[in-house]
Amino acid sequence: MTALQPTIATSGTNAESTAADRAYVFHSWSAQAQISPLPVAGGEGSTFWDNEGNRYLDFSSQLVNLNLGHQHPRLVQAIIDQAQRLCTVAPAFANDVRTEAARMILERAPGDLSRVFFTSGGAEANENAVRMARSHTGRHKILSTYRSYHGATGTAIAMTGEPRRWSGESGAHGIVHFFGPYLYRSAFHSTTEAQECERALQHLTTVVEMEGPATVAAIVLEPVVGTNGVLVPPAGYLAGVRELCDRYGILLVADEVMVGFGRIGEWFAVDHWDVAPDLITFAKGVNSGYVPLGGVVISERVAASFADRAFPGGLTYSGHPLACAVAVESMKVFADDGIPARARRLGEDIIRPALEDMATRHPSVGEVRGLGCFFALELVKNQATREPLVPFNAAGAAAAPMMEFAGACKANGVWPFVHFNRTHIAPPLVISEDELRTGLKGIDAALGVADQHVGI
């Protein structure tokens, strides 16, 4: 065994902590030699800081999970209290906080959703939702969209509709991709929201018919597409997908891992369109990620399928009491502080008008879209042709304009979410109005850097 040096946690310089990290830690989705992770020494609310005291407004909510911000005193206390009562218990036992977390989730869930299966995160939630759908229907195919992310495990990555799937899809079978609505870059040459809705539904209907409706177990989609663009569906789209599913006995699975629990201004994103899926998957915002938690909310009908035959799935940490205790407290904070309504109001009163104003002044802004505390600025080289500021899936030198923009945001004290040619505005839902305005000013100033790449 190699003798390892003790690490420098939060006491050294940024460079020392980053060097220690690079010596021992293997990071997600990264070329290990090319990254330089910023050491985070602490955080409070919407702000975090590094070892050298540089502070950042978190416009990314970490990985769009920190809905109640860093170190929320009620969530921290919930962990302490539960740790003193019972730190862990196997999934086969009944446990009071697990029961209460499930009850509270179901109290807010749409339609006839009536049971919760807990997982440790979003990918596992999608794995299990698909297993339930296949087992319930006796069918094997799953339809999911291009421009989606569903997680990094076997089936979840196969359902994913973006480059992270490419090297990880070899083992999964029966996954078929289709195009969802995206008017700005319409796959259907639409020019209006209504046309995009109608054509996207016609396309999906054709895909179902071509694949054989009796072979399709589920259609899985993000009600608002998250990482792949904050794509808000046109009015009528989700209702149309629901109708198509009902016509052919297909289950509708809403992946709300990123957009559930207040992000778009609703407890569940589907509530915005008043559509009830058969299964909803969740994680992230359910407890702001203080302790890993995810799950599947299950309709009465699907749950009944497993009344007298075993559900073929399980996880050691299913319904972990520390994670469930934070979820319970988080839902109480949501109710006490009116968090979903607050997210909606911040979006309409502050974020949307500020971004639309930026769009009039910055030639690099192609489109503004979003809901609640979840918006995207799509950056372009040319507003008329809509050529993206960087190519699809750009890396290295090709991605430099977006990296320069991100660097400018950080220099302005804002930690941005950047993906391909977009920046997403996804602050904690507890961000103060002043902080939100300050962060938006930082983004506005950084767009000057993106503007320099317009037309070249």
Ligand X SMILES: Cc1ncc(COP(=O)(O)O)c(C=O)c1O
Task: Give dist(CA 255, CA 266) in Å, integer.
Answer: 15
Three-state SS for 100? helix
For 101, the enclosing helix (H) or strand (E) is: helix 96-108
Task: Identify residues 133-152 at the interface with ligand X (CB under 6 A).
Answer: 149-151
Part of the chain binding ligand X (CB under 6 A), chosen from 18-26, 36-44, 197-205, 254-262: 254-262
Part of the chain binding ligand X (CB under 6 A), chosen from 120-128, 136-144, 229-237, 373-381: 120-128
Distances (CA, A) of 438 to 46, 47, 203, 354, 414: 12, 12, 43, 11, 9
Contact with ligand X (CB under 6 A) among 39, 45, 69, 121: 121
Give the E-state strand segments of 26-169 in sequence order.
Answer: 40-44, 47-50, 55-58, 113-119, 141-145
The three-point CA angle 401-263-322 to 5° equals: 110
The pair of structure tokens assigned to 234 is 């046109």
Least Cα distance to 194 among 184, 203, 204, 183 occurs for: 183
Contact with ligand X (CB under 6 A) among 102, 221, 257, 440: 257
Looking at beta carbons, which residue is closest to ligand X?
A: 122
Part of the chain binding ligand X (CB under 6 A), chosen from 96-104, 106-114, 207-215, 251-259: 251-259
Q: Shortest distance, CB of residue 259 to ligand X, whole angstroms?
A: 7
For 294, the enclosing helix (H) or strand (E) is: strand 294-299
Task: Identify residues 400-429 at the interface with ligand X (CB under 6 A).
Answer: none
Q: Shortest distance, CB of residue 284 to ligand X, whole angstroms?
A: 6
Give the E-state strand segments of 159-277 in sequence order.
Answer: 175-178, 216-221, 251-255
Q: Does 283 bind ligand X (CB under 6 A)?
A: yes
Q: Shortest distance, CB of residue 20 to ligand X, whole angstroms?
A: 25
Q: Does 205 bind ligand X (CB under 6 A)?
A: no
Q: Shortest distance, CB of residue 214 to ligand X, whole angstroms?
A: 28
Part of the chain binding ligand X (CB under 6 A), chosen from 106-114, 122-130, 242-250, 366-374: 122-130
Q: Does 105 bind ligand X (CB under 6 A)?
A: no
The pair of structure tokens assigned to 231 is 């794509």
Q: Does 122 bind ligand X (CB under 6 A)?
A: yes
Q: By C-beta, is 129 or 440 nearer to ligand X?
A: 129
Distances (CA, A) of 152 to 244, 296, 320: 28, 17, 21
Contact with ligand X (CB under 6 A) among 127, 255, 271, 378: 255
Binding mask 57-96 for ligand X (x = CB under 6 A): ------x---------------------------------
Contact by Cβ (8 Å): 230, 370: yes
**Residue 84: is it exposed, middle or buried by C-beta count within 10 angstroms (0-12/13-18/19+)?**
exposed
Q: In 372-432, which residue ranges form alpha helices assigned H by DSSP?
A: 400-411
Q: Shortest distance, CB of residue 417 to ligand X, whole angstroms?
A: 11
Least Cα distance to 51 among 68, 39, 63, 60 occurs for: 39
The pair of structure tokens assigned to 295 is 């799950």
Q: Shortest distance, CB of residue 126 to ligand X, whole angstroms?
A: 6
Binding mask 150-169 for ligand X (x = CB under 6 A): xx------------------
Contact with ligand X (CB under 6 A) among 50, 58, 162, 222: 222
Q: Shortest distance, CB of residue 295 to ligand X, whole angstroms?
A: 11
Contact by Cβ (8 Å): 125, 283: yes
Least Cα distance to 131 among 368, 353, 302 occurs for: 302
Phi-psi label, residue 389: left if phi above 0, alpha if psi -120 to 50, beta otherwise: alpha
Q: Shortest distance, CB of residue 231 to ligand X, whole angstroms?
A: 12
Part of the chain binding ligand X (CB under 6 A), chosen from 2-10, 131-139, 189-197, 250-258: 250-258
Part of the chain binding ligand X (CB under 6 A), chosen from 93-101, 232-240, 255-263, 414-422: 255-263
Q: By C-beta, is 200 or 257 nearer to ligand X?
A: 257
Q: Shortest distance, CB of residue 65 to ligand X, whole angstroms?
A: 8
Q: Shortest distance, CB of residue 312 to ligand X, whole angstroms?
A: 20
Least Cα distance to 184 among 378, 49, 382, 453 occurs for: 378
Q: Does 180 bind ligand X (CB under 6 A)?
A: no
Q: Does 227 bind ligand X (CB under 6 A)?
A: yes
Instruction: Please provide the DSSP assignment of 435-454 as one string.
Output: HHHHHHHHHHHHHHHHHTTT
Q: Shortest distance, CB of residue 281 to ligand X, whole angstroms?
A: 7
Q: Does 374 bind ligand X (CB under 6 A)?
A: no
Part of the chain binding ligand X (CB under 6 A), chosen from 121-129, 166-174, 246-254, 349-357: 121-129
Query: How many Cα atoms are found within 13 Å in the side-chain-facing hemisphere of 357?
Result: 12
Binding positions for ligand X, rule: CB under 6 A: 63, 121-123, 126, 149-151, 222, 226-227, 255, 257-258, 283, 294
